[in-house]
Structure 1
Amino acid sequence: MRAHETLKILVGVGTLVSALVLGGCASYHNAPAEPVELKNTSFTVNHGVQFSPDDWPKKLYGDLYLPEGEQLHPVVLMVHGGGWEGRSRSDISWISEKLASHGFAVFNIDYRLAPDYIFPAQLHDLQIARTWLNHNAEQFRLDASRVNGFGFSSGAHLIALMALVASSNDAESLNQPYGGPDTALNAVVAGGTPADLTAFGSGKLLRQFLGGTKADIPDTYRAASPITYVTRNSPPFFLFHGNMDSLVPFRQAQTLHDTLLANGVESELFEMRLRGHITSFLTAGSAISKATGFLMRHNKKP
């Protein structure tokens, strides 16, 4: 056997062993008593659906995943990460496919990026995407009363922020003119979530997203933090996070989880051991399965 072939086999075995080890390294805080059975269904995808109004500062698009069947489908609004400055919806298409295969309509969207656009532009983009789902529910067999959110990293920050702002009575400035009760979410899945921006320094990503340093605009850092708006009216959350995350420390998820519980809001926390920020996304299969069960429990018809 040639040396390069031996190396290739060893790398493959090492990758498999790593996946098996990491797959078993998780703690599920506040886990449900009974798991949900996941059933598969076929789906189609409408790529490049424009959801932004014609007069919006930038045209924005999403991919709409539609499960088979004539019944109304619960919906997941999917938001990608990338430090608010990059990446695209293609990063998170694999999760969109998994959710669609279990009966969820999924709208996987892009949004305006920093530094060309600063906060709250990105929040406004999510709010108009949520409104688009309301306006087009009948055409695509969407259940507008069962719209949920899913995001990772900066996408988790944005979807959590929209959900918590919409359910709070103390967020009028961020609910106007595009948000409010019509942009509320039924449940939220958030991975690697920057929940309290005031706990970070003033690094490049935050400076260009918010438009300045924490010392210069402390109120903006607080206003842009999802944890600011947690109330007893907040929707239930499923949080997943790597406990070795050095970019967004695990305590961000733990603090949001504890704050939700302290306000009487259901929260589940899937702690992914030995995972950093990127690896918690790349090896998120078990977390996504648990999150899918969480969404199915919260989207059962009465």
Structure 2
Amino acid sequence: MNRYNQLLALLVLCSAFVVWIPLFAGDFDAHYGVDYIVRDSGPLKADTYVPKDPGPHPGVLVVHGGAWRMGTRAQLSGVAQQLAQQGFSAVAISYRLAPKDKFPAQIEDCKAAVRWMRSHADELKLDPERIGGFGYSAGAHLVTLLGTTDVEDGLEGVEDPASEPSTRLQAVVGGGTPCDFRVMPPEYRWLSFWLGGTRGEVADQYRLASPASFVTADDPPMFFFHGENDDLVPITQPQGMCQIMEHAHVPAELYVVPKLGHIAAGMDRTALTKCIEFLSVQLKKQASP
């Protein structure tokens, strides 16, 4: 087993255990197993965490990790609860997994979830003009790709996306984030289960899956956090993404979690605090009338 396959195996085994526990009790309503879209394989479900006060609140889509092939929306239930305690309407989703459903199924589901949030803004007590994304590892990749793509990028997964609510986000937070698969060695097969082949065989899939390949000046501000000793996702991934965004004049920030690796950094409370502060600044500063 080569080094890349070893890292993938470790990521698959470990990332299902990245769970944050709420720091304190708050006042919100939780609803579990709500259908947000029906695919050929069946309904995809979401858990919603909505503050009890009237709102409207900024919304946050919460996307779990698991190397695009495993994991559940319960992984980040602690994050979603903490967001609700801080005045966000949080929606944690399940999405289709590889290898049964290869890319772009996962980003299509994330986009469907944002459309569902906007279509159900009243019952979620959220402001449809203020929606952010939060994810870790593979989930961070998905919300970052969600933040950099739009209708014209061909990842919408609906016949007429222009007739549906927008999937545009107003802020993105990602931890342990893979951002650019175009730098993968062309012969390595460790993402074939998800992207359908090596980069040498299906280069366009690796480009389409790379948030860094879609950065434009109208993208939302982004905050990344990353373990200093992360051996699974190189820290050069968010560093390179921040540089690309800086060149496009899009605000981007990277917080390096001292001395921690991929899994431990995902449970760092200082990082979570910084994430919520960033979302508060970006999403609460300008409420819709």
Match of 1:50 among 30, 35, 58: 35
Matched-pair contact (CA < 8 Å) for 1:85–1:205: no
Mapped partners of 2:106, 2:168: distance in 1: 16
Counterpart Cα distance in 1 of 2:168 and 2:50: 21
Question: For 1:98 and 1:224, how far apart are their aligned partners in 2?
Answer: 29
> d(CA) in 1 for partners of 2:90 and 2:27?
13
The answer as to 2:170 corresponding to 1:189 is no
Indicate how the Cα distance of structure 1 residues 83 and 203 shifts in structure 2: closer, same or farther if over 3 A, else same: farther
TM-superposed deviation, 1:97: 1.2
SS in 1 for 2:219: coil
Partner of 1:291: 275
Query: Quick one: which of 75, 79, 82 aligns to 2:66?
Result: 82
Pick one of 152, 159, 164 that aligns with 2:143. Answer: 159
Offset from partner CA, 1:72-121 (integer Å, 9 cap, x none): 11100000000001011111111111111100010000100000000001
**Worse overlay, 195-204 or 72-81:** 195-204
**Would you say the 8 A contact 1:40–1:103 is kept in 2?**
no
Which has the larger Rg?
A: 1
Relative distance call for 1:150 and 1:64 in structure 2 (3 A) is same
Determine which of 219, 224, 228 is the counterpart of 1:239. Answer: 224
2:153 aligned with 1:172: yes
Structure 2 distance, partners of 1:204, 1:102, is 42
Deviation of 1:59 (Å): 1.4
Q: Structure 1: give runs of 5+ residues left out of the alignment.
A: 1-38
Aligned-partner Cα distance in 1 for 2:233–2:188 = 12
What letter matches 2:155 in structure 1? L
Q: 213, 218, 225: which is aligned to 2:198?
A: 213
CA pair 173-78 structure 1, distance change in 2 beyond 3 A: same
Q: CA RMSD in A?
A: 2.0
- Corresponding residue for residue 109 of structure 2: 125
1-side partners of 2:192 and 2:157: how far apart? 24
Q: Which runs of 5+ in 2 are unaligned?
A: 1-23
Q: Does 1:97 align with 2:81?
A: yes
Partner of residue 134, structure 1: 118
- Code of the residue aligned with 2:153 in structure 1: it is E
How many corresponding residue pairs? Answer: 260
What amino acid sits opposite 1:102 in the alignment? Answer: Q
- Give yes or no for the alignment of 1:145 onto 2:129: yes
Asked whether the 8 Å contact 1:243–1:249 carries over to 2, the reply is no
Deviation at 1:199, TM superposition (A): 2.0
- Structure 1 counterpart of 2:70, one-letter code: G
**Equivalent-residue separation in structure 1 for 2:122 and 2:226 (angstroms):** 36
CA contact (8 A) 2:188 2:199 kept: no
Shift of 1:177: 2.7
Seen in structure 2, the aligned counterparts of structure 1 residues 110 and 176 have a Cα distance that, compared at 3 Å, is closer
Q: Percent identity?
A: 37
Deviation for aligned residue 1:144:
0.7
